[in-house]
Amino acid sequence: MTDPSAPPLTRIQQKNRDLILQGALDAFSANGLRGATIDQIARAAGLSKPNVLYYFDSKDDIHKTLLTTLLDMWLAPMQRINPQGDPLTEVLRYVQAKLRMSRDYPRESRLFAYEILQGAPHLTAILGGGLRDIVDRTVEVLERWMSEGRLARVEPRHLIFSIWSMTQHYADFEIQVRAVLGPGHDPFAEAGAFLEDLYRKLLTP
Q: What pLDDT does residue 2 have? A: 47
48/75 same-domain check: no
Q: Give the integer Cα–Cα distance in Å for 153 and 143.
A: 8
Q: Are 81 and 102 in contact (CB under 8 A)?
A: no
Coil/strand/helix, residue 17:
helix
- Average pLDDT of the chain? 90
User: Do 64 and 131 sit in the same domain of this protein?
Assistant: yes
195 or 74, greater pLDDT = 195
105 and 159: one domain?
yes
The Cα–Cα gap between 29 and 32 comes to 6
- Write the burial class of residue 59 (CB in 10 Å: 0-12 exposed, 13-18 middle, 19+ buried): buried
Number of domains in the chain: 2
Residue count (the chain): 205
Higher-pLDDT residue of 186, 115: 186
Give the CATH number of the domain where residue 1 resides. 1.10.10.60
The predicted structure's pLDDT at residue 73? 86
- Global pTM value: 0.83
Give yes or no for a contact between 108 and 25, defined as CB atoms under 8 angstroms apart: yes
The better pLDDT of the pair 73, 86 is held by: 86
- 76 & 107 share domain: yes
* 33 and 53 together in one domain: yes
